[in-house]
Structure 1
Amino acid sequence: MDSYNIESSNADCLDSRPLKKPKCEQLNDCDLSPSPRSSTSLASSCNNIESSHVYDLDARPLKEVKCEQMNDLDISLSPPSATTLPSSSPVNNDRRILLDDKKHQNHHEQFKVDQTYDYLPQDYEMTDLDYCALMKIESSLESDILVKIDDIFVTQSQLSCLLDPKKFLNDDVISAYICCIKYQAHLESRNDVKFYFENPFISVMLKRDGKLGVGQDGNHITKIVRNYLKHEMVLIPINIKETHWYLAIINTQKCEIQVLDSLCWDSNRVDLADTLQGLQFHLNIIGRQQNLISHNWKDLQIISWIITEQVQEPMQKDGSSCGLFMLKFMEYWTGDSLSHPITQEDINCFRHKLAGILLCWKTNTAQTTPQNMSLLGSSDDQKETKATDSLLEETKYQSLMSILSKISENELVGGLCDYIKSINCPETLEKVWVRNSKPYSISLTVRKLQEILKEDLPMDRDCLNLVIRKFMFDEIQMMKKTKGTISKHYLDTRFWMITDFGRHPNFRKKLDVEQLAETVCSWPGVNYSVSRCKLILIPIIQFNKTFILFILNQDTRTVYILDPTPLDPVYKYNPNARYVKKLLCIAEFLPKAMSKVCPGSRWSEDVFLWRQIILSDVPIENR
């Protein structure tokens, strides 16, 4: 029951309306497409009031769900721990998943473990190759060397930064990717300008020499600096110890030091100054040598060159992806500008893609074939594992995708749900398995996924928001295919939470109208006007963590109410009365938000004055 007493005037107004149950055929003006089946009865009830010509998501074949429809939904599965699978699991008999099994080679599309990257992909869509690389990192020991490119060795513990968005990029991971850049001929020479890509180890040595000085005869770094003179652009990664990465470019054509910093920290360039001083010491030694090679540098006194900040607005939105931005700066900088745009969303995807690139790079001579990767198993099988080690050395593993291709959709979903419910390892329960970044970040841990599957628990708010986001993106993808228009606009629970409903006005937070407007604006991925949408769907969170749905139809000026909770006997003779305060809240805050998003539209009207219909065919859920 609402926390306030219901004013008699409002109740009488609502009570004067007929309480006859509306039939489905009377609601043709409510154009609701069917939603995919979920555990919530609220979503399934919408199927009863759909129009006859809507697109049926349930009828869509599974294979038609392309990766681009979920291009921003990052689902990562961690290998189970020893305590996560019950011994009765049917997969225990096939714990080891074999790659390239010859007897399946002709029947299923194979994922070849000898596939490699010989180029730097410009898109960040994850492939089977990339997913297997992530699984390899997660299942390896910390000391295992997984990447060996030229003279750069990278262990599992160093690559683990690619699995956690909160971790900084490791020096050796950066060096390995720089080696990949060097293999791209079009990057080493652009418009007849030669680029030299330095690695973090040498930049640290230059910074050291800038602080301590260099002997008259120089050292091994002096020989490396001599190679700089053969190039017009020298790209040097700069690290503020344990804090930040940015890029410095020695642009010999303009006689300037160009700085690309994803955070625009232009006030702290001490590390750059020390690095340039060390470089100057070595250039002075080279300048005194008689065998000075011919070069196109206009001036060797780089310490006197001007320093220019090339990034005017911060690109980085988090506190850990500076190293990833720096690598993209090295890859895309032309000397005057970036050849490709870079966004935080791109970088978030690039973090996982980078794992696949490094492990599957054409010159990676480390053992990356997952020959010893156990996807399913328990600690009880250690003896069996030792007994089969000799066999595993001779046997390759069959593609995970080939295994999954033999399983029906229902079996796959059921098995996944059973597996999630069986996990009881405290550490695994706190791991993030589902992450989505558009239009804002949502992360779901294994524990939250378990709660979705427990019928006696209410759905987590983040889970509901992610489902709503999936519905909206499906609408957008369908609109792009059919070249139609967006007729339904979904709000998630942020709008309702920001209203502070249920709290006394004297104790509410000060309303931020701009923040409120963000909760009702159009979704990313397509340009559409909210003012032209026929319906707005508003989920409401109640005090007992249950949800109800308000559907606003601007064409007929009607509010439809879908409520799966049992009717309180207090409202037996006037069921509309229990929604008065919620409608008043929507009528107060929605116009404020819409005045920013689409001023002058019908959504700015007082929706409390619209016709209100309680849909009676909604299944009632008792907890």
Structure 2
Amino acid sequence: MSKKYKVSIYTITMLQLLTFIYRKEWVRSSKPHPIGLSLRRIQGILRRDQPLDIDCFNMAIRILANDEALLTRDPPVRFMDLQFCTAVIEAALASARDLDSRVQPDIQALASLLRSSTEIDHTISSCNWILLPHAFLGHFILFAINKHARQVSILDPLIPSLSSERYALKFQRVAFYLNDALELAQPGWKSDTFFWPRKSPIDVPTSIDRNESGYFVFNFMLSWHGNKFVRPICTDGYELRKNLLIHLLEYHANEAEDNIPYDVREILKCLK
């Protein structure tokens, strides 16, 4: 066998091995629906030329939503991931592609997203706040919906910010189905969230980098309570990415923990 042929076999074998390693899940959660994060996806968190991966964001919110310290806040908060707004956006895009039909998201499925899926159960009716993230083309924003005060705060980390009309259009699409979903999830609900006053708080930390917006919105959800931030928010892009990476890898209910190399797990123990 020629040396060149041996090198080719070695190269192909190593590429196959690396592909297997990169595809192997390091973080996995099965409930309320499966989310699995491969090493490749997790490594993408540290790439500053990429926005936050949707599944990484959703997993980060799932971990957040099961944090006992946050779930004992008074009044209770419903932490939503991107599934709700993604379903609305996909329906709008499908309708735009076919002007002869109107595609609508499954309202029953949207209502189930509003109901509790956390280990500590709060009914949606007991939650004063719904924290509803929205992402389109890598631009993340947060709708902080105060059910008690009937008011919506729009938290956008990206500068320059959008016009009030653009924000209104984004929320209009969401509010149309949010109202229907709330009627199913919270019997007796009759209010129309689209007509509630909307405001953009002036103390929202910002960045000029669209790729960082998802990391900011995650921290907004972690820190927003009672119409204000209750803890400082880091604005350094690298630190935001590093902290979210640790947040994912330290997940106490990680079903794929054994796939994480021993040395990495030991380092994570030192960080706790």
Q: Deviations over 1:17-73 (max 9, x none)?
A: xxxxxxxxxxxxxxxxxxxxxxxxxxxxxxxxxxxxxxxxxxxxxxxxxxxxxxxxx
2:63 to 470, 478, 483: 470
1:496 to 63, 85, 94: 85
Supply the AA of the counterpart residue of 2:114.
Answer: V
- What residue in structure 2 maps to residue 532 of structure 1? 126
Supply the AA of the counterpart residue of 2:86.
Answer: M
The question of 1:606 aligning with 2:192 is answered yes
- What residue in structure 1 maps to residue 151 of structure 2? 558
CA distance in structure 2 between the aligned counterparts of 1:493 and 1:562, rounded to whole angstroms = 15
1:510 CA displacement: 4.4
Q: Under a length normalisation based on structure 1, what TM-score does the superposition of the two structures give?
A: 0.29
2:165 to 577, 580, 592: 577
CA distance in structure 2 between the aligned counterparts of 1:536 and 1:461, rounded to whole angstroms = 19
| RMSD (CA atoms) | 2.6
1:508 CA displacement: 5.0
1:468 CA displacement: 0.8
Q: Deviations over 1:65-92 (max 9, x none)?
A: xxxxxxxxxxxxxxxxxx9xxxxxxxxx
Supply the AA of the counterpart residue of 1:548.
Answer: I
CA 510–496 in structure 1, closer or farther in 2 if over 3 Å, else same: same
CA distance in structure 2 between the aligned counterparts of 1:540 and 1:430, rounded to whole angstroms = 27
The question of 1:545 aligning with 2:138 is answered yes
The question of 1:619 aligning with 2:212 is answered no
1:509 CA displacement: 3.5
CA distance in structure 2 between the aligned counterparts of 1:459 and 1:479, rounded to whole angstroms = 23
CA distance in structure 2 between the aligned counterparts of 1:622 and 1:515, rounded to whole angstroms = 33
CA distance in structure 2 between the aligned counterparts of 1:502 and 1:622, rounded to whole angstroms = 26
- What residue in structure 2 maps to residue 120 of structure 1? none
Q: Deviations over 1:427-450 (max 9, x none)?
A: 211111110112111000001001
Write the mapping of 1:81-480 to structure 2, written as runs, cut at 5 A. Answer: 425-474=18-67, 477-478=68-69
- What residue in structure 2 maps to residue 196 of structure 1? none
- What residue in structure 1 maps to residue 258 of structure 2? none
Larger radius of gyration: 1
> Are the counterparts in 2 of residues 479 and 486 from structure 1 also a CA contact under 8 Å?
no
CA distance in structure 2 between the aligned counterparts of 1:430 and 1:537, rounded to whole angstroms = 32
CA distance in structure 2 between the aligned counterparts of 1:451 and 1:440, rounded to whole angstroms = 23
CA distance in structure 2 between the aligned counterparts of 1:536 and 1:588, rounded to whole angstroms = 15
> Are the counterparts in 1 of residues 107 and 177 from structure 2 also a CA contact under 8 Å?
no
How many aligned positions are there? 191
1:588 to 173, 176, 199: 176
Higher relative contact order structure (alpha carbons within 8 Å, sequence separation ≥ 6):
2
1:501 CA displacement: 5.5
1:618 CA displacement: 2.5
CA distance in structure 2 between the aligned counterparts of 1:621 and 1:479, rounded to whole angstroms = 29
1:524 CA displacement: 3.0
- What residue in structure 1 maps to residue 110 of structure 2? 516
CA 605–533 in structure 1, closer or farther in 2 if over 3 Å, else same: same
Structure 1: state its 5+ residue gaps.
Answer: 1-82, 84-378, 380-423
Structure 2: state its 5+ residue gaps.
Answer: 1-10, 211-272
CA distance in structure 2 between the aligned counterparts of 1:517 and 1:432, rounded to whole angstroms = 30
CA 501–509 in structure 1, closer or farther in 2 if over 3 Å, else same: closer
Q: Deviations over 1:419-478 (max 9, x none)?
A: xxxxx922211111110112111000001001111111011100000111111111xx23
Supply the AA of the counterpart residue of 2:121.
Answer: N
> Are the counterparts in 1 of residues 160 and 208 from structure 2 also a CA contact under 8 Å?
no
SS in structure 2 opposite 1:539? strand
Q: Deviations over 1:477-517 (max 9, x none)?
A: 2378x6x6561101111101111364236455443221121
Supply the AA of the counterpart residue of 1:443.
Answer: G
SS in structure 1 opposite 2:60? helix
CA 527–557 in structure 1, closer or farther in 2 if over 3 Å, else same: same
CA distance in structure 2 between the aligned counterparts of 1:580 and 1:498, rounded to whole angstroms = 18
SS in structure 1 opposite 2:114? coil
CA 508–460 in structure 1, closer or farther in 2 if over 3 Å, else same: farther
Q: Under a length normalisation based on structure 2, what TM-score does the superposition of the two structures give?
A: 0.63
Which structure dedicates a bigger proportion of its chain to helix? 2
1:532 CA displacement: 1.8
